[in-house]
Amino acid sequence: MSRIFDLVMLALLISVALAVVRCRDLVAAAILFSGYSLVLCLLWQYRGAPDVAMTEAAVGAGVTTVLVLLAVSRTSRRER
């Protein structure tokens, strides 16, 4: 069970990471990156590191997304 969970989560992690890189819409990329942090947060928690999981959820999924969206809003939305 633990192995299946690990594999599913890691597969999800890698596919979200690839989606972030391939996505041309920067707002969508920021949201996907937030999803990446969320998956990683679950993985940390599952691996017995609740402190790291909380930091990942608050900083990775929350604050970083806001700062990236803010930076995108001050430039252009599409990657050229």
For the bound state, the minimum distance from the C-beta of residue 49 to other proteins, rounded and expressed in Å, comes to 8
According to CB under 8 A, which residues from 12 to 71 bind other proteins? Answer: 50-51, 54-55, 58-59, 62-63, 66-67, 70-71
Q: Is there a contact between 17 and 36 (Cβ–Cβ < 8 Å)?
A: yes
Cβ burial of 39 (10 Å; 0-12, 13-18, 19+) is buried
Q: Shortest distance, CB of residue 60 to other proteins, whole angstroms?
A: 9
d(Cα 42, Cα 45) in Å, to the nearest integer?
Answer: 5
Residues of this chain that bind other proteins (CB under 8 A): 50-51, 54-55, 58-59, 62-63, 66-67, 70-71, 74
